[in-house]
C-alpha cells in the first residue's frame, strides 16, 4: 500500500515553453513591488465581488497586517485569489500557473505582483521568487 501512495501520476499540464520565457516575470517580482495596476484591479474586483457575487469575508483579522504570510486558497473558482486579496488590507502577491502568463493577462499579472510557477517541472525559480517576496515582507516596517 505504501508503494502505491508514493507513486505520483505523470503531470499532464506541462507548459511547453522553456524556463527562460518566464525569467522576466521572476526578475520583475524580485526587484519591484506591485504598481498601480494592482490597485486598479483591486477596485474593479471589489465592485464586482460585492455587487455581483455578494462576497463576504470571515475573520480577515486573523491574517497579520504586516510581515510574511502564506495564504493558500482552495480554488473553488478561478476568482478565488482575487477575492482573497480583497478581504485583506495588505497587498497580496500570488504564484500562478505559467499557462496564465500569455497576452493580455501577463500585462496585468506581472505589474500586479503575480509570478509564474511551471507545473510539472522542478521550478526552482518560482521558489526563489516566493522566498524573495516573503523576505521583502519581513523587512517592511
Residue boundaries of the structural domains of the chain: 21-55+81-141
By three-state DSSP, how is residue 93 classified?
A: coil
Q: What is the pLDDT of residue 11?
A: 67
Instruction: Give every CB contact of residue 110 below 8 A, 6+ residues apart in sequence.
Output: 24, 25, 28, 29, 101
The pTM assigned to this predicted structure is 0.84
pLDDT in tens, the chain (141 residues): 556 666 767 767 889 999 999 999 999 999 999 999 999 999 999 999 989 988 888 899 999 988 999 988 877 777 888 888 888 888 899 999 999 899 999 999 999 999 999 988 889 999 999 999 999 988 887
Amino acid at each position: 500500500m505504501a508503494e502505491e501512495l508514493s507513486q505520483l501520476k505523470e503531470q499532464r499540464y506541462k507548459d511547453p515553453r522553456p524556463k527562460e520565457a518566464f525569467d522576466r516575470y521572476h526578475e520583475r517580482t524580485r526587484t519591484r513591488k506591485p504598481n498601480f495596476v494592482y490597485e486598479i484591479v483591486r477596485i474593479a474586483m471589489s465592485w464586482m465581488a460585492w455587487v455581483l457575487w455578494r462576497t463576504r469575508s470571515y475573520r480577515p483579522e486573523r491574517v497579520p497586517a504586516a510581515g510574511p504570510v502564506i495564504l493558500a486558497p482552495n480554488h473553488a473558482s478561478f476568482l478565488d485569489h482575487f477575492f482573497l486579496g480583497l478581504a485583506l488590507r495588505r497587498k497580496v502577491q500570488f504564484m500562478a500557473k505559467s499557462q496564465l502568463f500569455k497576452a493580455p493577462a501577463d500585462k496585468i499579472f506581472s505589474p500586479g505582483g503575480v509570478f509564474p510557477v511551471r507545473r510539472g517541472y522542478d521550478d526552482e525559480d518560482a521558489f526563489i521568487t516566493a522566498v524573495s517576496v516573503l523576505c521583502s515582507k519581513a523587512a517592511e516596517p
